[in-house]
Amino acid sequence: MNYPVWFLPAIGGGTLIAFIAIVHVFVSHFAVGGGAYLIALEKKAYKEESEEMLSITKRFAKFFILLTMVFGSITGVGIWFITALVNPGGISFLIHNFVFGWAAEWVFFVLEIIAAFVYYYTFGKMDRKTHLKIGWIYFISAWMSLFLITGIIDFMLTPGKWLQHHSFWLGFFNPSFFPSVFFRTFMSFLMAGVFGLFVLSFYKNSEAKEKFVKYSSLWVIISIVLMVPFALWYVSVLPVEAKSLVMGKSPEIVRTTKVIITSSIIAFVLGLIVYLKPSLNKAYIAAIIFLAGFFIIGSFEWTREAARRPYVINKVMYSNMIFEKDLPKLQKEGFLKNAKWVSVRNITEENKRLAGKEIFIHQCYACHTIGGFNNDIKEKAKSMSYTALTKYIEKIHKVRYFMPPFAGNEEEAKALAAFIAGDLLGKEIKEVEKAKLDGKTIFEDNCSSCHEPEEFEDLISGWDKAKIRKALDMLEKLNPEMPPYNGTPQEKDTLTEYLFKLSGGVK
């Protein structure tokens, strides 16, 4: 509302962010875990007095440094670039509150880069103790970046007491901060182990390789075990709404949580097999473990983002950059009058659909594409008529908690419905007079957002009219997902007749 929207109808900003975020998160956790992993390998090589182990460690060091310095920095800048374009409102809010957190992160990043270069270029040329110390500086500064960014990222999910006091420290050390820092630390160790197994699978067989395979598989299995309690702690501190989304209210999130659990089990079992028999660390096994690691981290980040819905900053700002505190005003005075980046201020018959489009861009596009593969509004709304959509939009947040409340007045809801039903779905736009409602229309207006008419053949098969009529008085009791139906008794009778017909009557 206060910023223009970068409108890419078929792709959606969310997809862009997801794309770069998953790559960056993978690389950045890699960098942190890699620091600790290199120190551990180097120490092991000294203990075993093995030149070969040392040379493998040095080769790993070169790869880690290239990866973090080049790929890590590019995607790291890229992620803030893209998020700032897709959600300028959210990023601006974070910068205004956490600018010193970011500044500190940059200091540690510079330290990390310097330590990484010194570590690699003095490998084998410096005395062992000092060289390991440089390794520690590299690891600790990388970990400090994780520590600092976690404070800001998890603030978005659980602002906690910040909501009352607006203090930097309360926001930074928010309720999910510690579980998240520990969870991510072990996830970064997991990434290092997963990487080690993968690269080692291409090396020629030797005693040194076998020892490192065994050692790296320990990093995988122990990290997974240690991630579990922190994952549970993480979920336990989520606000009620986010918890219920994760635990079942959002089918999409539940699917992703299953991916995390399955991938962890796969990585754990294969890691254990490789530990017991290092010669089994073939390229394809190591590739499966690697992919499982990628799925764990990708799905975890996606879930954390999705659990915030409908907010970008929980309880403060919705995903569509509208502040929660502005809602009453926008619903009373109207959205278009208050928004900065729209062309229509007053809705007329002629500009109604254009106004609807502008409202869509500012309020729905944050999560819905138009004709894209991801959450396509044309697909999602295809069963709904103009009147059904109008009613749906007005109570959108009540029906579906994960969507923000509609921030506009009745006229604007109608304009938005006219754009979706008329321009996007090619349906007829006409106002229905209340008195003339027939069963089909009542159904479309109130039930079609969740039910297809055909479902009722099974759903209420064998119900008589009295039972159907009674059910209409207490839909919310039949299933907690259903909102109560507030029709007049006469409308309920009409709907009963219609549903009875759909069910195929009493058999």
Residues that bind ligand HEC (CB under 6 A): 251-252, 309-310, 319-320, 363-364, 366-368, 375, 380-381, 392-393, 396, 399-400, 402-404, 406, 446-447, 449-451, 459-460, 471, 475, 478-479, 481-483, 485
Cβ atoms within 10 Å of 243's Cβ, excluding its own = 15
For 110, residues 6+ apart whose C-beta sits below 8 A from its C-beta are none
Whether 368 and 12 have beta carbons less than 8 Å apart is answered as yes
CB of 456 to ligand HEC, least distance (A): 7
Judged by beta carbon, residue 251 or residue 426, the one nearer ligand HEC is: 251
Cβ atoms of 383 and 452 within 8 Å: the answer is yes
Q: Which residues contact 153 (CB under 8 A, 6 or more apart)?
A: 180, 304
Specify the residue, 134 or 393, whose C-beta has the smaller distance to ligand HEC.
393
Shortest reach from residue 82's CB to ligand HEC, in Å? 18
Which residue, chain included where needed, has tokens 């960098």?
31
Identify whether the C-beta of residue 422 lies closer than 8 Å to the C-beta of residue 429: yes
Contact present, 132 and 70 (Cβ < 8 Å): no
Q: Which is nearer to ligand HEC, 185 or 256 (CB)?
A: 256
Q: Cβ of residue 161: shortest distance to ligand HEC, in angstroms?
A: 25
DSSP of 176-214: THHHHHHHHHHHHHHHHHHHHHHHHTTSPP-HHHHHHHH
Smallest gap from Cβ 494 to ligand HEC, in A, equals: 11
Q: Shortest distance, CB of residue 404 to ligand HEC, whole angstroms? A: 5
Query: Residue 291 class from Cβ within 10 Å (0-12 exposed, 13-18 middle, 19+ buried)?
Result: middle
Please, what is the minimum distance in Å from the beta carbon of residue 402 to ligand HEC? 6
Backbone angles phi, psi at 96, to 5 degrees: -65, -25
Residue with structure tokens 């479902």?
Answer: 455
Q: What angle do CA 105, 108, 113 make, to 5 degrees?
A: 125
CB of 181 to ligand HEC, least distance (A): 27
- Residue with Cβ nearer ligand HEC (171 or 356): 356
CA-CA-CA-CA dihedral for 152, 154, 159, 161, to nearest 10: -90
Distance CA 236, CA 232 (A): 6
**Radius of gyration of the chain from Cα atoms?**
28
Residue number with CB closer to ligand HEC (19 or 102): 19
Least Å from the CB of residue 399 to ligand HEC: 5
Closer Cβ to ligand HEC, 167 or 461, answer by number: 461
| Cβ atoms within 10 Å, residue 475 | 15
Give the C-alpha distances (Å, rounded to integers) separating 457 from 169, 257, 475, 495, 502: 57, 33, 18, 15, 6
Report the amino acid identity of residue 141: S
**CB count, 10 Å around CB of 108?**
19
Question: Taking the complex as a whole, how short is the minimal distance between the CB of residue 97 and ligand HEC, in angstroms?
Answer: 22
Residue closer to ligand HEC by CB (options 333, 473) is: 473
- CA distance linking residue 41 with residue 53, whole number of Å: 8
| Residue number with CB closer to ligand HEC (257 or 363) | 363
Q: Residue 268 corresponds to which tokens in the numbers above? A: 């754990």
User: What is the closest distance, in whole angstroms, from the C-beta atom of residue 340 to ligand HEC in the complex?
Assistant: 18
* 47/507 with CB nearer ligand HEC: 507
C-beta closer to ligand HEC: residue 231 or 403: 403
